[in-house]
């Protein structure tokens, strides 16, 4: 049981502290790339897959990724046309313990970044610890369910390269149709996020961030609509950011590859800037 399990009224794991506002982030996060991108993947068995990605925007790039997924482990390795190499390994030795390791090697500088994570998922709590050589960063996060709808927790970070520490506290209230979270930290900044179901196939979210040192605020709102063969997302921020993505998927005959098309548009309406992109994903078994 967790450190504060005497308060708990539920047996459901709340997930990691860094995912406190995951419901709203899933709607408001719209990864954007301009130009044209094509991803082709081939599944060789139920455990092994290879993907090739090509992109043409501000520059031309290529990436190859190999993925192996077992019942309790996952291995992934990638290399791009610049010679940069990355990889990660996830192992789940028990039902409640997850171990993760990752590395990134920059071909230009020869730099090597390493990261390791340990997750302990209890019946009503989640404890996560992480170390990264990038910035000599150490973090420990804890999230505890106190009722069937409320979770509270905190996270401590230490950045050795800057000799700086940070403490964050947060809480989340969830129902079957809404999720609201609030976080504050020792840098005197905070955020409030809300996600709610608008209809059977659509969800909306809003997030407000405040810096009490200068009283600067930033707000972003978004909506996601799920259609049988497409997902449409749109976001608008007070700093001028606006974006729209449309992901459409269509599967053809069993002998033909599955096709997914993503159309992206966005920009800064205050600066009058705009960008657009198209992505195509082909998959074959």
Question: What is the Cα–Cα distance from 189 to 191, expressed in whole angstroms?
Answer: 7
Listing DSSP states for 30-54 in one string gives -----EEEEEEEEE-SSSEEEEEEE
φ/ψ of residue 24, rounded to 5: -75, -35
The residues spanned by each domain of the chain are 5-284
- pLDDT per residue rounded down to tens, the chain (285 residues): 554 444 444 558 999 999 999 999 999 987 666 778 888 898 898 899 999 998 887 667 899 999 999 999 999 999 999 999 999 999 999 999 999 999 999 998 989 999 999 999 999 999 999 999 999 999 999 999 999 999 999 999 999 999 999 999 999 999 999 999 999 999 999 999 999 999 999 999 999 999 999 999 999 999 999 998 889 999 999 888 888 888 886 654 443 457 778 888 877 777 777 778 888 877 766
Residue 94 CA, distance from chain mean position: 24
The third-level CATH classification (topology) of the domain covering 5-284 is: Porin (2.40.160)
């Amino acid at each position: 049981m967790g450190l504060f399990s005497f308060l708990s009224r539920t047996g459901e794991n709340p997930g990691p502290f860094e995912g406190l506002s995951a419901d709203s982030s899933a709607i408001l996060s719209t990864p954007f790339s301009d130009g044209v991108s094509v991803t082709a993947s081939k599944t060789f068995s139920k455990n092994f897959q290879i993907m090739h990605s090509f992109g043409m925007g501000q520059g031309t790039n290529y990436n190859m990724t190999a993925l192996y997924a077992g019942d309790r482990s996952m291995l992934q390795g990638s290399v791009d046309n610049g010679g940069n190499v990355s990889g990660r390994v996830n192992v789940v030795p028990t039902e409640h313990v997850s171990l993760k390791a990752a590395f990134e090697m920059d071909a230009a500088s020869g730099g090597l970044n390493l990261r390791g994570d340990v997750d302990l998922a209890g019946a009503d709590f989640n404890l996560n610890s992480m170390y990264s050589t990038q910035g000599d960063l150490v973090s420990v996060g804890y999230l505890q369910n106190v009722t069937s709808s409320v979770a509270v927790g905190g996270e401590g970070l230490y950045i050795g390269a800057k000799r700086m520490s940070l403490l964050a506290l947060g809480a989340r209230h969830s129902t079957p149709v809404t999720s609201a979270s609030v976080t504050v930290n020792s840098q005197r900044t905070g955020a409030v996020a809300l996600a709610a179901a608008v209809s059977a196939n659509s969800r909306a979210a809003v997030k407000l961030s405040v810096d009490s040192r200068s009283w600067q605020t930033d707000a972003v709102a978004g909506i996601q609509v799920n259609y049988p063969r497409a997902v449409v997302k749109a976001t608008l921020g007070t700093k001028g950011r606006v974006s729209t993505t449309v992901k459409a998927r269509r599967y053809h005959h069993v002998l033909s590859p599955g096709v997914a098309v993503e159309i992206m548009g966005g920009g800064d309406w205050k600066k009058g800037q705009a960008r657009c992109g198209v992505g195509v994903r082909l998959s074959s078994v």
